[in-house]
């Protein structure tokens, strides 16, 4: 597969581990670790615009339309040349143990996120990706 990894892996928290987990994390006791990755509980009322996912931070974009096998590395390659935050920079979406086709990507600044919007409606593999400011 061009996307590698296991299908529907857990919602991953990629970046500096201290910011990812433990009681001091963004969701406090609501978050848990599964196979070393931070997992956020599903949001009430399901997905859709503005539904669920990690807390909104300045410079964060929501990606929709990802192949279910997409990995954080695929997302880094998609945004090649742009600076993604090293602290919880990419969070892959999961519901009921399966990939949702969504991810939240935090860039080093809101201006960098605005530059990343130029990738809206471009392809990752055979899927076109939609980007939304959070």
Residue 4 lies in a domain: no
Confirm whether 107 is domain-assigned.
yes
Task: Kindly report the CATH number assigned to the domain that includes residue 19.
Answer: 3.30.70.330
> 91 forms bridges with which residues in the sheet?
13, 104
CA–chain centroid gap for 57, Å, is: 12
Does residue 21 lie in a domain region?
yes
For residue 33, give its domain range: 13-42+49-133
Flag whether 1 is in a domain: no
pLDDT score at 122: 98
Residue 104's pLDDT is what? 97
Q: Note the pLDDT tens digit of each residue in 17-38.
A: 334 443 344 444 344 433 433 4
State how many domains the chain has.
1
pTM of the model: 0.63
| Tokens matching residue 40 | 């956020």
7, part of any domain: no
Tokens in use for 37?
A: 């990755």
Flag whether 2 is in a domain: no
Average pLDDT of the residues of the chain: 74
Write out pLDDT tens, residues 45-87.
344 444 456 667 899 999 999 999 999 999 999 999 999 998 7
| 8 located within any domain | no
Q: Is 16 left (phi over 0), alpha (psi -120 to 50) or beta?
A: beta
108 located within any domain:
yes
Within 10 Å of residue 60's Cβ, how many Cβ atoms?
22
Cα 96 to Cα 1, 15, 17, 39, 61, distances in angstroms: 23, 24, 24, 11, 23
**CA 60, CA 24: separation in Å to the nearest integer?**
20
């Amino acid at each position: 597969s061009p996307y590698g990894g296991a299908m529907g892996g857990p919602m991953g928290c990629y970046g500096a581990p201290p910011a990812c987990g433990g009681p001091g994390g963004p969701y406090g006791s609501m978050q848990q670790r599964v196979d070393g990755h931070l997992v956020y509980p599903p949001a009430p009322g399901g997905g859709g615009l503005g539904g669920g996912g990690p807390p909104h931070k300045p410079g964060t974009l929501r990606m929709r339309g990802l192949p279910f096998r997409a990995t954080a590395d695929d997302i880094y390659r998609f945004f090649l040349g742009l600076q993604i935050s090293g602290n919880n920079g990419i969070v892959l979406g999961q519901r009921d143990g399966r990939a949702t086709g969504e991810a939240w990507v935090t860039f080093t600044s809101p201006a960098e996120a605005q530059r990343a919007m130029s990738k809206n409606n471009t392809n990752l593999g055979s899927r076109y990706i939609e980007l939304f400011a959070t």
